[in-house]
Chains A and B, each alone.
Chain A
Amino acid sequence: MKTVQTLASAALALTFALGFAAEASAHAKLVKSDPAEKGQPTDKKNLELTFSEAISGKLSGAELKDAKGAKVATTSMVDQDNKGLMVMAKEPLKPGDYKLAWHAVASDDGHRTTGTVTFSVK
């Protein structure tokens, strides 16, 4: 019994010593975006989404639609140590409202997160 008690105390002590650092979860959350929600992009061709953790380039992507709901041609790739998704429009975006629907797959456990960013170009 004594050995079990000692082991149990050691396990508990170790756990508390390490603390419950609530670090990165396995879900890629959108940390910031350019353009910001309801904002305007700093670059009319390149949009940037930044996530809380590394995402898979092959499995993540985004779809851009204009105010009429028509798809705008884009390609996407990861950057910033795989924590960013850059969405590049084929041509500079014309003035109007846009909706960017993104999906990100975390590169460790494959969990998928989605979201949208609504913005306008003046």
Chain B
Amino acid sequence: MAFPFYAWERDHAAPPSFRKALRWSGVLTLVSAWAVLVMMTAGMGGGLASAADLSLLMAAVSDTQFGRVWMVRILLAVAVLALIVKPRPARDWPMLALSGLLLVSVALTGHSALPGGVPGLLHQGADAVHLLAAGWWVGGLLALALTARALGGEAHHVLERFSGVGYGAVAAIVLTGLFKSLLLVQTLSGVDATAYGLTLLLKVALAAAMGLLALSNNRISRRLKAGADQALWLGRLQHSVTLEFALGMAVLAVVGALGALSPPISQ
């Protein structure tokens, strides 16, 4: 959602593929949020069968912090879908705010409040920044992947703006990620000794691979700026950015697995 604000000129209209991606993201967000609530409720009830129990669902939403936050997220996702139905401007403040809230609210669930007290609050703050920066980066990649070929002569401008913002996002991700790891895993021996540590290593490896691809994008940008064959280099850019985005999705899948594991600090 942030991409149109910094990467495109003010009057640049979002291409149909961009709007379509937004609609699909909205639907996926709502469906997956609902699925998470149902599965977590089943966990609270002690088995899959309990997921069908409506009173259990209502108890989960009213009597646990997770349930309360998650219900708000589901309502936010509904609001997003309600907005997307109508045509929207490319620079969409309300949608940006809603998406931001959806991302940040995840920091209120899971292991983010460990170890409790003031460090726990700082952890949640770092988590919120981590989520927003990651969303900023991966979201930008999707926007680039969808619109790269059509960029034409504008391409290196858009790329320069993206990479400028990208450096900041990556720095924020790395710093907050380091802080979280120190808090949750605590010692280097915890990294390869536990399932959590190994999964975390996988996440870092995938993110590092994304970083390497980002560097190659810079190289492509320089070629385009120097006036090289547009069709060829825009095609390469598209491939590179699409691969980087796919890696970003893989990182998200691994993060999902991390959420289901127990970090060493809570053992």
A7-B175, A20-B186, A58-B63 known; A27-B44 Cβ under 8 A: no
B63 touches A15 (CB 8 A): no
- Most chain A CB inside 10 Å of its own CB: which residue of B44, B114, B179, B186: B44
Q: Say which one of A69-77, A83-91, A105-113 lies at the interface with B.
A: A105-113
In the bound complex, CA of A57 to CA of B111 (Å): 22
In the bound complex, CA of A2 to CA of B110 (Å): 34
B63 touches A57 (CB 8 A): yes
A59 touches B63 (CB 8 A): yes
Chain A contact residue count (CB 8 A cutoff)? 31
Provide the B113-135 mask, 1 if CB < 8 A to any CB of A, else 0: 11111111010000000000000
Kindly list chain B residues whose C-beta atoms are within 8 Å of the C-beta of A27.
262, 266
B46 touches A109 (CB 8 A): no
Chain B positions near chain A (C-beta within 8 angstroms): 40-41, 43-46, 56, 59-60, 62-67, 109-111, 113-120, 122, 171, 175, 178-179, 182-183, 186, 262, 265-267
Choose among B64, B115, B120, B178 the residue that contacts A59 (Cβ–Cβ < 8 A). Answer: B64
Chain A positions near chain B (C-beta within 8 angstroms): 4, 7-8, 11-12, 14-15, 18-27, 56-59, 103, 105-112, 114
In the bound complex, CA of A108 to CA of B64 (Å): 5
In the bound complex, CA of A21 to CA of B115 (Å): 7
Choose among A7, A11, A14, A108 the residue that contacts B113 (Cβ–Cβ < 8 A). Answer: A108
CB distance from A26 to the nearest CB of B (A): 6
In the bound complex, CA of A59 to CA of B46 (Å): 10
- 3 smallest A-B Cβ distances: which pairs? A25-B266, A58-B59, A23-B116
Kindly list chain A residues whose C-beta atoms are within 8 Å of the C-beta of B59.
56, 58-59
A21-B117, A25-B266 known; A15-B65 Cβ under 8 A: no
B44 touches A59 (CB 8 A): yes
Pair count A-B, CB < 8 A:
95
Closest to B111 in A: A26
A114 touches B46 (CB 8 A): yes
Choose among B64, B118, B120, B186 the residue that contacts A110 (Cβ–Cβ < 8 A). Answer: B64
In the bound complex, CA of A25 to CA of B111 (Å): 9
A20 touches B115 (CB 8 A): yes
Kindly list chain B residues whose C-beta atoms are within 8 Å of the C-beta of A114.
46
A21-B119, A59-B56, A109-B109 known; A26-B114 Cβ under 8 A: yes
CB distance from B50 to the nearest CB of A (A): 10
Closest to A56 in B: B63
Other A-B contacts than A27-B266, A112-B43, 11 sampled, CB-CB below 8 A, are: A15-B182, A21-B119, A22-B115, A23-B120, A24-B116, A25-B262, A26-B266, A59-B44, A105-B64, A107-B63, A110-B44
A109 touches B266 (CB 8 A): no
**Could you jot down 19 A-B contacts, CB within 8 Å?**
A18-B122, A19-B119, A20-B265, A21-B119, A24-B115, A25-B266, A27-B266, A57-B63, A58-B59, A59-B59, A59-B63, A103-B46, A105-B44, A107-B63, A108-B113, A109-B65, A109-B109, A110-B44, A112-B43
